Chains A and B, each alone.
Chain A
Amino acid sequence: MLKIADKTFSSRLFTGTGKFSSSALMEEALVASGSELVTVALKRVDVRNNEQDDLLIRLKYPHINLLPNTSGVRNAKEAIFAAQLAREALETNWIKLEIHPDPKYLMPDPIETLKATEELAKLGFVVLPYIHADPVLCKRLEDAGTAAVMPLGSPIGSNKGLKTIDFLEIIIAQSNVPVIIDAGIGSPSDAARALEIGADAVLVNTAIAVSGNPIRMATAFKIAVEAGRIAFEAKLASPVSHAVASSPLTSFLDA
């Protein structure tokens, strides 16, 4: 079971709601994925009239927790405002912090993200920041009170997989909070790999939403994430690099 702040999750596949060809298809795919944490862009929901919001209505399942995200904001100040809005409208203090001032590649701003995390943690939010695979930033965020870190695997929406794997491994090795690989995961095998190396969860959106059959693909991801986790728990056998004794280092002990 994965625990983040006060919640436990039996599925380690988190999903997003963007890019589906219809909300009906989205609903079916997300149900098939078994995901218990679904991120929703605050900018996409009608916060003032959320009872009527089509997206939200489709996510009303007892096992699904909503994770509003701040996508669209460009700095800490806007992010804090968006988080407060989300808390009021969706009645959750969970927030996926996304600050990307750059509209082309949607690269997260590390400095504004750290600032916003500090502030939001003080305000009682459960903060899940989307960030670069930057090990030092992860530690700084931890000190700032983040509930988890969400480093990217490769550029958002790129489906390129775990291009940052060397850094993800460092992040996982030294993290005291759950590590969720966000962005770039393009195939179930990427997701399995992420779990194999010890990531606590993955967040997948584009790879499901724009696939040929989102419902089948959601199922494939569900199984892949489970397989990856089992492999991690079973402890992968690593490639053997046996040392070759050129000149023995310990023969002095026999003297």
Chain B
Amino acid sequence: MHSFNDIFETYNWDEVKASIYAKTGADVEKALSATKRTLEDFKALVSPAAAPYLEQMAQLSQQLTLKRFGKVIQMYVPLYLSNECSNICTYCGFSYDNKVRRKTLSPMEIMQEVAVIKAMGYEHVLLVTGEDNVTVHVEYFKKVLELIRPHFAHISMEVQPMDLEDYAQLTPYGLNTVLVYQETYHREDYKKHHPKGKKSNFKYRLETPDRLGQAGIHKMGLGVLIGLEDWRTDCFFTALHLHYLEKKYWQSKYSLSFPRLRPFSGGLEPKVEMNDRELVQLICAYRLFNEEVELSISTRESPHFRNNIIKLGITSISAGSKTNPGGYAVEPESLEQFEISDERSPADIAKVISQQGYEPVWKDWDNCLT
């Protein structure tokens, strides 16, 4: 059975990048007027040549999103279970070489956090850990899922990539969604940012969505960490990956995120800066390329940006997030993965959403359906 790696290997980073930067206004106009957009159209839409067309892209993105999703925004919140990690990632506060106190929540602590999250109104939760197979392994996840499943309608996970058998074991425990970001599709740069640990295996990470598809996961999330490499090229590879997965694992749903590198303790300066205008361009390009994919925005972005992005094409948003284990109740001062940028409460965000004529949706799935 072949995997995305076979397709990926037929592409050359520099050639893709050059072809994106060679796109012209005419290519963008063609992409805008197409009824079905191809990967070449996507390149045009993320190219510098598309900058003057941003308002038109935004209008189209809004129309398409309304057509498919209506006026609703899904609310979700992360629950950090652990900041232990045996990898070195140059951009992350949890990195192994960052000498800070480590913490993994016990069952009792998890329930304390859950109580706060539930009180905020959440039904969809995203479980996050560092990548440490000794403390946060399949057996730990099983226990956590068992514990929290009765309290949530939808459970997502953003943890270390696992083997097919592990995913297959976790789905019966109520795991609905798995997010796994490639960070960057630039092989050499990937090596530079992940010098040590299991995560340094580029191919294993690249093939994780294939394993998720084979395990029949309900939904998977893809993306890159914006700031590590040329974002236009990286996001093209994300689109290519999505395109492949959708055709092959046609029973799964997909979501995309576009996290921009954020400051954290001991942090790395982004190699590439992406400004707000460019992030809007990317969001619209994703929407124009794929009408069904869910687009998600986190509290990494500023309140001003988040207020205005609601109408542009995104479909889910987090609010009131803590990015440290125990951050909600148990140990508010433990180490954060990154600083958040929008501190407003879920109720405030819900109000902003309603004021724009949209409905904040807290529950949009039910475990009893899986």
Q: Let me know if B265 is at the binding interface, CB within 8 A.
A: no
- Within residues 226 to 255 of chain A, which ones have a CB less than 8 A from any CB in chain B? 237-245, 248-250, 252-253, 255
CB-CB under 8 A for A244 and B308, given A238-B34, A250-B280, A253-B277: no
In contact, A249 and B59 (Cβ under 8 angstroms): yes
Most B CB within 10 A of own CB, among A173, A239, A245, A252:
A252
- Does A176 belong to the interface (CB within 8 Å)? yes
Contacts of B35 in A (CB 8 A): 238-239
Q: Is the CB of A250 within 8 A of B33?
A: no
Q: Are A249 and B33 in contact, with the CB atoms below 8 A?
A: no
Assembly CA distance A59 to B250 (angstroms):
40
Interface centre among A173, A174, A241, A249 (most CB of B within 10 A): A249
Residues of A within 8 A of B36 (CB): 169, 173
Question: Which listed residue, A176, A244, A249, touches B312 by the CB 8 Å rule?
Answer: A249
Residue with the highest number of chain A CB atoms closer than 10 Å, among B30, B62, B248, B250 = B250
Stretch in B50-58, B98-106, B225-233, B331-339 with 4+ CB within 8 Å of A: B50-58
Whether, in the assembled complex, A139 has its beta carbon less than 8 Å from a beta carbon of chain B, the answer is yes
Evaluate contact between A245 and B59: CB separation under 8 angstroms: yes
Q: Are A241 and B280 in contact (CB under 8 A)?
A: no
A243 to B62, CA, bound (A): 10
A237-B36 Cα distance, complex, nearest whole Å: 11
Whose C-beta in chain A lies nearest to the C-beta of B59? A243
Chain B: interface residue total (CB-CB under 8 A): 27
The residues of A that contact B187 with a CB separation of less than 8 Å are none
**Which of A169, A240, A243, A245 is most buried by chain B, counting CB atoms within 10 A of its CB?**
A243
* A174 close to B246 (CB less than 8 A): yes
Residues of B within 8 A of A242 (CB): 32-33, 56
Residues of A within 8 A of B276 (CB): 253
Quick check: is B63 within 8 A (CB to CB) of the other chain? yes
Whether B246 contacts A244 by the Cβ 8 Å rule is no
Q: Please tell me if the beta carbons of B248 and A249 are within 8 angstroms of each other in the complex.
A: no
B268 contacts the other chain (CB 8 A):
no
**Given the known A-B contacts A238-B35, A241-B33, A252-B308, are A174 and B250 also in contact in the complex, defined by CB atoms under 8 Å?**
yes
Name B56's contact: one of A237, A238, A243, A252 (CB within 8 Å): A243
B 294-327 contacts with A by CB, 8 A: 304, 307-308, 311-312
Are B246 and A250 in contact (CB-based, < 8 A)?
no
Given A174-B246, A249-B312, A250-B54: A255 in contact with B59 (beta carbons within 8 A): no
Which residue of chain A has its CB nearest to the CB of B38? A235
- CB contacts (< 8 Å) of A248 on chain B: these are 55, 58
Is residue B138 within 8 Å, beta carbon to beta carbon, of the partner chain? Answer: no
Q: Which of B36, B63, B312 has the most CB of A within 10 A?
A: B36
Binding site for B on A (CB under 8 A): 139, 169, 173-176, 237-245, 248-250, 252-253, 255
Q: Given A174-B250, A176-B248, A252-B308, 10 more contacts at CB 8 Å?
A: A139-B251, A173-B36, A237-B30, A239-B33, A241-B33, A245-B59, A249-B59, A250-B58, A253-B280, A255-B304
